[in-house]
Structure 1
Amino acid sequence: MVKRHLARLTSPKTWPVSRKRIRFIARPLPGAHNFMLGLPIVIALRDLLRLGETAGEIKKILNLKQVLVDGRRVKEPKFMLGLFDVLQIPDLKLNYRLSINSRGKLCLHEISAEEAKIKICRIIRKHALKGGKINLTFHDGKNCIVKGADYKVGDSVLFEFNKGITKKLPVKKGAIIFLVGGRHIGTTGELVDVVQRKLVSDEMIVKTKKEQFSTLQKYVYIIGEDKQLIKV
């Protein structure tokens, strides 16, 4: 039987919540995002946006207001809001994207209504289908069938909610990247080189305005070719 709550003291370190104020906190429903890169929407609305003081107040907002995640209405308080998801409340003209900062804490960045129409999705799996088609699975659980085999695991795509994939963002030199783990978590930079390894994850050489360093491929999300396409 799945537990309904988490102890605040043992909740993920990425969650920006007080550890001692109240003993328990909402446990998100199972979904595509892991606990480190996502949190229940009740926490986003209460603790980050301060739209209510209690879970009960947030439930009323979810029932009475049109709260959207990636363009779809959400009413469940424990729904998992994940990395790069777009959170909108049209009645209040609020548009936000979930990201992670340099302190390793999940955060919401306010974005324009135009940017709220798009999202960056990272390819985590792919498998071949009949007719030369490929089924892609993204970090947020989305699946998309495409033609051609030039999509690779680790690449990203620009996804428009009313159109689907509109741009492929491959792992290549010069790409703009965002790091979701490691010592440089929350950092945006340029991919300088890819060092391929046989038995372990490929090593990525990243350059920022201040320094150059290496990191693991699993931490790297491509967010643009020559400029970043979303606010992170």
Structure 2
Amino acid sequence: MHLTRAESTTKFPIPRKGTKYLARPLESVDNSVSVVMAVRDMLKLARTAREVKKMINSKVLKINGRIVKDYRESIKLFNVLEADKKYLLTLSTNGKFKLVPSEGNERVCKVIGKKTLNKARTQINLHDGTNFIAGKEKIEIGDSVYVAIPDNKPKKVVKLDKGAKCFVIKGRYIGKEGKVKSREGKKVEIEFADGKIVKIPQGEVIAL
């Protein structure tokens, strides 16, 4: 399946003019990039989709430590792509996806939901579609969890509270880092490096 360049999300770091069709990510079309776009168009590690497919067949491409099997697989925000080296998918201040070198063996995820299972177990749902069963530590919606790669086990929980570093993932201030000054209800007050202080919905920011 493909989507037209005109109907694609503005987060794609590609020219608005060019070939008519683009490879559609298998999941989260508006909030991810496909492997072929990342490898060919963003990293310039291949010239064609065929070359990307050869890399997949050679098992040199991984997402969060898992071997890629389809060139349309989705790389979601803060996922880690392994190619010639590791790259983290993040956002620039102009709202475009970008890949930056990464050396860690973990990724940060925003908690977007919780589900009670049998035997009083709680499933924690994360922004990139993954989940895990919570342990004894209290985890709330809006918290961030650092997840190990590749075993997908939670390593650390970060609260979106005063003093926490944070990153804006949507809205007017997308792509900017700051520090939480306060949190009231569903609003977070953030101070950026230039001293500017703003209040934005907590759904638009992730704690780091």
Q: Which bin holds the TM-score, normalised by the shorter protein?
A: over 0.9
Paired residue for 1:142?
Answer: 130
1:108 Cα shift?
A: 0.1
1:46 Cα shift?
A: 0.5
1:65 Cα shift?
A: 4.1
The CA distance in 2 between the partners of 1:87 and 1:101, in whole Å, is: 17
Comparing both structures, which one devotes a greater share of its residues to helix?
1
Partner amino acid for 1:193?
Answer: S
Could you list the runs of 5+ residues in structure 2 that have no partner in the other structure? none
After TM superposition, the structure 1 = structure 2 runs for residues 79-158 of structure 1, keeping only pairs within 5 Å, are: 79-89=73-83, 92=84, 94-112=85-103, 115=104, 117-148=105-136, 150-158=138-146
Select the residue among 195, 212, 222 that pairs with 2:197: 212
Could you list the runs of 5+ residues in structure 1 that have no partner in the other structure? 197-201, 224-232
Q: Say if 2:15 is the partner of 1:21.
A: no
1:133–1:148: 8 Å Cα contact kept in structure 2?
Answer: no
Q: Secondary structure at the match of 1:153?
A: coil
Identity %: 30
Paired residue for 2:62?
Answer: 68
RMSD: 1.5
The CA distance in 1 between the partners of 2:29 and 2:201, in whole Å, is: 20
When normalised by structure 1's length, the TM-score is: 0.84
The CA distance in 1 between the partners of 2:24 and 2:193, in whole Å, is: 39
Paired residue for 1:226?
Answer: none
Q: How many residues align?
A: 206
Partner amino acid for 2:55?
Answer: I
The CA distance in 2 between the partners of 1:219 and 1:36, in whole Å, is: 15
Q: Say if 2:172 is the partner of 1:183.
A: yes
When normalised by structure 2's length, the TM-score is: 0.94
The CA distance in 1 between the partners of 2:136 and 2:118, in whole Å, is: 12
